[in-house]
Structure 1
Amino acid sequence: MDKAVTAGHRKFPLGCEISGLVLVCRYLLQPKGNGNKSSKPDDLGSLRLNVTYTEDNVLPSVCYTPLRTLLLKFPEVKPISASAAHILGDICRERYEAVLPVVRLLLHHNRLVPFVSAIAELELTQTQEANTIFRGNSLATRCIDDMMKIVGRSYLTVTLKPVLDEICESNKSCEIDPVKLKEGDNVEVNKENLQQYVQKVFSSITQSSVSCPPLMCDVFRSLRQMASKRFPNDPHVQYSAVSSFVFLRFFAVAVLSPHTFQLRPHHPEPEISRTLTLISKTIQTLGSWGSLSKNKLSSFKESYMYEFFKSFQEDKCIEEVKKFLDEISSNVNKESSGVEDSVVLKEGEVHKRAQGRKRIGKKNFKKRWLRVTNRELSYHKHRGKEALCVIPVKNILAVEKLEENAFTRKNMFQVIHGEKPLYIQASHCVEASEWIEVLSQVSRCNPGRLSTFHPSAYLSGSWLCCKGIGENLPGCRPCSTTMLVNIQLDIDCDREIEKIFSLFSSNYSKLQKMEDACASIAVYQGPQKEQEDYSLFTIQDPKETFRTIQDIRKVLADLQDQHVAISSSIAAHYGSLDNPIVGKTS
């Protein structure tokens, strides 16, 4: 076996490829010197291990079709608590990681937003006070937490990593607790250092709305609408419904433990960790300022934190928080909300195709001045002239590249809105990419965005790309944002469903208890056993829930039979997990 030796460690290729077949060999790891205890402590180096062991016997994809179908049919199941996905969350309530495979599966199939909206609405019906909204460890909060960790990883990197690197590398003293001050520390200097760090983190967050992933915006918008509907007399709840996630459960947690989000390579040193703790606590409070009433400083438990927060301009922070939350969750037109006036994001000369023309030729394209603001896209005959056409940003459904064969022109893109697509040619490829980026960013939170598009034009009664007939025919290619999400996540659905099968199997006794509870409630019109037997389950419709559990049990039994059949046909070969190779690797 070939081996590559570098300073401090040795790398062994554990697999080899023969005739297209990948053979995986496993070797028994032995101590240094085959366990020779005569080695001196000074001769031993230090070793840091990050070990993850996962054993999933994944079946062929077709085997998981019934369970996949059962999990994805939740929109047809009423109420949502009777769906298979919700039942899994109920019986695995004490296992936080149990929600992750469901979230990943729904993300891959673009079904997460409706599921989260449904379970969040169910939780809201059980929430009695607005100030306790989404504060518990419920199925909805766990799903949204996992979604943010998966989808928002690059968002955190762009927003927080530069400032966290600066904080960790400069390592200025920021302790403001008089009890924890070191000898020679100046509390006023420390307070100033901490305030500078907090302001940098806070500004990075509140100015990051343009980088917030569209999927997160969709979830936040849904939460905001449902919270306002549930508590119509509370003007702050629309903000607290969003800030409870984006500030408390996302940014504040990432600041507190940056290494767990791959923002830093290692766990920070104790002094830096203390600084990050103070920053995280401050960010949580600043993030909640925009969603709570005034005179909140009296609620601080620590007197030193009370004094520290007095140095912040509360009204200014509230305005910045609300502006940020509006940008990532609101459907309200920015012009009418008074957030800010129209801001020019990009403008320049382009060639625009005349709308409604069927012929392809040079005369179809006219040189125009294109201008995009945070509110509208417009084109003009010349710069400074009155707009020939204005497209509100909120009406943009997709911005995509156009194939060259559409009009035999390079560097073209299309803006898809309520009417016919607007076809535009930029002067060069860099200019085209810049237009696509700025238009995609400014319209990223629009409701009703398209998931598919046609990369070519509709001419002579059919689409050039797919030959489909009908101008309103759905697109033949996934939009770049949807495709990008699937590529970045790289989700193996069969593996995720296998994990879900394992979770159902390991919690089968709870599934049976839930089935018994449904039968008892349906037959006797109420629980006949001790109340604790039912308290962990959400059973709104016992008959519908009972039917779903019956379907789950049948699917689990079939999958178990297939596992047994396949396992019995596989013999443990030399070099496998069950029969590892023993001996020196050299």
Structure 2
Amino acid sequence: MWTMNNSLQEYLPCQCLSSPPAALHTPLCPAMARRSSLYIRIVEGKNLPAKDITGSSDPYCIVKINDETIIRTATVWKTLSPFWGEEYKVHLPPNFHTLSFYVMDEDALSRDDVIGKVCLTRSILAEHPKGYNGWMNLIEIDPDEEVQGEIHLKIEIVSTEASQKVRCAVFEARDLARKDRNGASDPFVRVQYNGKVHESSVVKKSCYPRWNEAFEFDLDESFIEKLTIEVWDWDLVSRNDFLGKVVINLNGLQTDLQLEGWFRLSPGKSKANVDEGNLGSLQLHVRLRDETVLPSNYYQPLVQLLCQELKKSHQEKSGHLIALIDETTSAECRQEIATNLIKLFLGQGMAKEFLDVLFRLELDKTNEPNTLFRSNSLASKSMESFLKVAGTQYLHIVVGPTINRIFEEKKYVELDPSKVEIKEAGCSGLHRIQTESEIILQSAQFLQSYLTDLLIAIAKSVKLCPATIRATFRQLFKRVGERFPENKHTNVKFIAVTSFLCLRFFSPAIMSPKLFHLREKHADARTSRTLLLLAKAIQNVGNMDAPASRAKESWMAPLQPTIQQGVSQLKEFIEKLIDIEEKEELDLQKALNLQTLTVKEGQLMIYRTKCKGYLLASSFKKLFVSLTADALSFAKTPYSKKSSFIPLSRIRALEKVEEKSFGNSNVMQIIYTDETDNLEALYLQCKCVNELNQWLSALRKVCVNNNDMLCSYHPGVFKGEKWSCCHQKEKGVAGCDKTRHEVTLQDWNDLLDPDLEAQLIFRHLFGMRESLKEKHLELTKQNVDNPPLSTDPERKNSITQLFEILQDLEATQNSFLADSPSISDSEKKCLLAL
């Protein structure tokens, strides 16, 4: 066949849609995997236009990847300069092409208004390996650019005795843009060549039309190269809407005479963006990362070396390799490498030992106890990551109830006299103005109540805290006590624990509950101020009511009695928290492992298909759904007996459902096999797009190793004796759209991926190998201060061994990439350059 262009090559694997429903995905290479991920931080917007009659807007952002909505931020009410500060990491297929940010204005009574958009292509992101970071102007939405989907075509040159003809067969299209109110379109195809035009029939109410029509044109003697295929949405009253086009260069057909495949639809001619710069701007930080992950055995030498060094370091005074990594890791990537190392050592059961080595390295460099763990060192960043990875569920149990109470009560709370707003009090007809002192007194009572609730929750949470966290704090407490044994430093070992638990874990979650998944939406201004004051109070407790904290914000004095009581409560809590023996640690860890088998749970609306009868929206039932590592189960309430379950091994696809199928855009489907191996579908209705994508992500992750996953599915439902998406009349016919198993949202409680973490650590160490060499030579010369570094041949050998392992891994990756037939030359260059 004719050598395919990039557009066709990208989509050719999807031709398995014509295969039986159980067709398998074909990996890029049986021995390796390519994994792409996007780090996205939506920071803030500014100078947005007013969309409401009040002269303001209620903005939020929607993020689309390949035209599919993946993320929706919280709405920031009544502002033209919203701050979101939301971070996401998305795993996705390497062949994604566009990332779009739409800024919307939320309306309660009508459809939300589109303010503008920012679009980043894959090629733009690839040009910024350290990430794109900055302000981008919003541009106006051009309907001719809002295209999506693909079309299946076959182009051939047919020779007859009299002449040559160009034949264009138009089979079907998928995932077309929805232009009509019913959530679909009425698409038809217009084929143009040499001034002549042919049009297909119109397929009503479908974004997955099937035409199976062919059109012929006489081949021009001068051989005009361009054949244009356009897809349009037919409208009876208004003008037809453009859905996208494909332009075929016929020059390549002179040799092979035939071309067939799926082609991505391209936009039409875009008009000049006259409003660019007038619609405001969006501050973003986006980083694309492509990784070639090798089989596990290739990373074993690196993992074994790091673990061996860690074991030596844990038994001795310090670790040379860990010390080198600590000294040479820049502030720019410290958080990332800290998270990778924590996850790697968690998978090896050595996270506590790793943190202990970092604690000792930090303590050796600290002479003033008041500055201990106050910097953003590798030790501090690693401990932060450890608490998030291992303690998110614990955080939700402890902090969640108080946060929810604050959101529900919406009390006005202010202690700072310079910020107090005088307001009216009393019932209608008896209004009077509250004095400043009355407001502060009332605010102090509210805050005391919230702080007391939180401290009680912390005090009762000893047994709820994961055993690995308790053991790590025990080790930290011990090391700090050994470093500062004087009586005047008695509080230092307590503050070392609270500096992480209160200042870097509880307090940030209280200030920004949305970012820690404690709430679905950001707090309004009043609630946000209450949360900030509570976070300050818990910080003061964590600082053991240090005089410096009191002097800094003297207006916090009304809370002083509660803070002082909290200090003694927190000390007692820490003493109980670290009172854990090795045997108890192991027993608690086993119990913890049993508890954390629940990956996700919650109330959802469920519909289960039956072999007979029609699909009715009213058939949805509210059930409590629980996802474990083995099965998806259903019950009436969280405490009632499970009514049914689906083993994860039987799941074949997890995908979204078209909005028009149920009149709701937040429905997903689970396609699974029953006891007789027949395919059945289960539909889950979620509250919002974020909940939908969270459930999809969780299910896709636990089913990642399932066999016989489908590569096609129906995004509609079988209703009225046909599929609502493609109008096919056989229930068991192959799906009309490709599945998207690769797209998932990363979360702190994700299952560990040791190979990926090892790859990321390798890439980091390889990139800083020169700095490692220089620092190693510098430390080796310090004979007086640290003789073992220059005299111990094993330590020298470990450094040499590390560099050899890094070189071997680099050579192996280059070899895999060079031999892979499925990667284009440009992609190889990009991957090799990383």
Deviation at 1:263, TM superposition (A): 1.5
Q: What's the Cα RMSD here?
A: 4.1
Higher strand share: 2
75, 88, 98: which one aligns with 2:337: 98
Unaligned runs of 5+ in 2: 1-10, 17-22, 28-92, 99-118, 120-140, 146-268, 424-435, 593-638, 640-747, 830-834
Structure 1 match to 2:444: 191
Give the secondary structure class of the aligned counterpart of 2:304: helix
Paired with 1:497 and 1:99, the residues of 2 have a C-alpha distance of: 13
Within a 5 Å distance, the mapping from 1:459-498 to structure 2 comes to 489-498=750-759
CA shift in 2, pair 1:25/1:317, >3 Å: closer
Paired with 2:544 and 2:306, the residues of 1 have a C-alpha distance of: 39
Paired with 2:554 and 2:526, the residues of 1 have a C-alpha distance of: 21
Structure 1 match to 2:555: 304
CA shift in 2, pair 1:557/1:222, >3 Å: same
CA shift in 2, pair 1:331/1:399, >3 Å: closer
CA shift in 2, pair 1:181/1:308, >3 Å: same
Q: Is 1:541 aligned to 2:789, yes or no? A: yes
Q: Is 1:227 aligned to 2:480, yes or no? A: yes
381, 399, 424: which one aligns with 1:160: 399
CA shift in 2, pair 1:304/1:129, >3 Å: same
Q: Is 1:66 aligned to 2:301, yes or no? A: yes
Give the secondary structure class of the aligned counterpart of 1:153: helix
Q: Is the 8 A contact 1:89 1:98 kept in 2?
A: no
CA shift in 2, pair 1:188/1:297, >3 Å: farther
If asked which structure has higher relative contact order (CA below 8 Å, sep 6+), I would say 1
Q: Deviations over 1:424-455 (max 9, x none)?
A: xxxxxx9xxxxxxxxxxxxxxxxxxxxxxxxx
Structure 2 match to 1:569: 819
323, 346, 352: which one aligns with 2:572: 323
Q: Is the 8 A contact 2:389 2:749 kept in 1?
A: no
CA shift in 2, pair 1:516/1:128, >3 Å: closer
Q: Is 1:20 aligned to 2:24, yes or no? A: yes
Paired with 1:49 and 1:509, the residues of 2 have a C-alpha distance of: 32
Paired with 1:20 and 1:75, the residues of 2 have a C-alpha distance of: 43
Paired with 2:591 and 2:541, the residues of 1 have a C-alpha distance of: 38
Give the secondary structure class of the aligned counterpart of 1:21: coil
Q: Normalising to structure 2: TM-score of the pair?
A: 0.43
Q: Is the 8 A contact 1:67 1:555 kept in 2?
A: yes
Deviation at 1:152, TM superposition (A): 0.6
Deviation at 1:209, TM superposition (A): 1.8
312, 317, 322: which one aligns with 1:76: 312
Paired with 1:397 and 1:154, the residues of 2 have a C-alpha distance of: 15
Paired with 1:274 and 1:167, the residues of 2 have a C-alpha distance of: 11
Q: Deviations over 1:405-425 (max 9, x none)?
A: xxxxxxxxxxxxxxxxxxxxx
Give the secondary structure class of the aligned counterpart of 1:174: coil
Paired with 1:83 and 1:262, the residues of 2 have a C-alpha distance of: 38
Amino acid at match of 1:75: K
Unaligned runs of 5+ in 1: 1-12, 333-391, 402-429, 431-486, 527-537, 580-586
Q: Is the 8 A contact 2:459 2:573 kept in 1?
A: yes
Deviates more, 1:207-216 or 1:22-31: 22-31
Q: Is 1:507 aligned to 2:768, yes or no? A: yes
Deviation at 1:231, TM superposition (A): 2.6
Within a 5 Å distance, the mapping from 1:403-552 to structure 2 comes to 489-521=750-782, 541-544=789-792, 545-552=795-802
Structure 2 match to 1:200: 453
Q: Is the 8 A contact 1:89 1:99 kept in 2?
A: no
CA shift in 2, pair 1:573/1:248, >3 Å: closer
Q: Normalising to structure 1: TM-score of the pair?
A: 0.60
527, 536, 540: which one aligns with 1:281: 536
Give the secondary structure class of the aligned counterpart of 1:148: helix
Structure 2 match to 1:265: 520
Amino acid at match of 1:248: L
Paired with 1:395 and 1:548, the residues of 2 have a C-alpha distance of: 31
Q: Is the 8 A contact 2:540 2:563 kept in 1?
A: no
Q: Deviations over 1:190-234 (max 9, x none)?
A: 333333222222322222222111110000111112222333333
Paired with 2:764 and 2:584, the residues of 1 have a C-alpha distance of: 44
Q: Is 1:237 aligned to 2:472, yes or no? A: no
Paired with 1:144 and 1:175, the residues of 2 have a C-alpha distance of: 33
Deviation at 1:115, TM superposition (A): 2.2
Deviation at 1:264, TM superposition (A): 2.2
Amino acid at match of 1:194: L
Q: Is the 8 A contact 1:174 1:275 kept in 2?
A: yes
Give the secondary structure class of the aligned counterpart of 1:205: helix
Paired with 1:265 and 1:313, the residues of 2 have a C-alpha distance of: 30
Identity %: 26
Give the secondary structure class of the aligned counterpart of 1:62: helix
Give the secondary structure class of the aligned counterpart of 1:254: helix
Within a 5 Å distance, the mapping from 1:14-53 to structure 2 comes to 18=16, 19-22=23-26, 26=95, 28-29=97-98, 32=142, 33-34=144-145, 36-37=270-271, 53=288
Paired with 1:275 and 1:575, the residues of 2 have a C-alpha distance of: 56
Deviation at 1:159, TM superposition (A): 1.2
Amino acid at match of 1:28: H
Deviation at 1:541, TM superposition (A): 1.8
Deviation at 1:15, TM superposition (A): 8.6
CA shift in 2, pair 1:576/1:507, >3 Å: closer
CA shift in 2, pair 1:25/1:69, >3 Å: closer
CA shift in 2, pair 1:321/1:181, >3 Å: same
Deviation at 1:284, TM superposition (A): 1.1
CA shift in 2, pair 1:249/1:40, >3 Å: same
Q: Is the 8 A contact 1:159 1:204 kept in 2?
A: yes
Larger radius of gyration, structure 1 or 2? 2
Amino acid at match of 2:798: T
CA shift in 2, pair 1:200/1:165, >3 Å: same
Paired with 1:119 and 1:187, the residues of 2 have a C-alpha distance of: 44
324, 334, 338: which one aligns with 1:87: 324
284, 289, 300: which one aligns with 1:54: 289
Structure 1 match to 2:503: 248
Amino acid at match of 2:524: E
Q: Is 1:127 aligned to 2:366, yes or no? A: yes
Paired with 2:589 and 2:382, the residues of 1 have a C-alpha distance of: 27
Q: Is the 8 A contact 1:27 1:575 kept in 2?
A: no
CA shift in 2, pair 1:17/1:53, >3 Å: farther
Paired with 1:146 and 1:301, the residues of 2 have a C-alpha distance of: 29
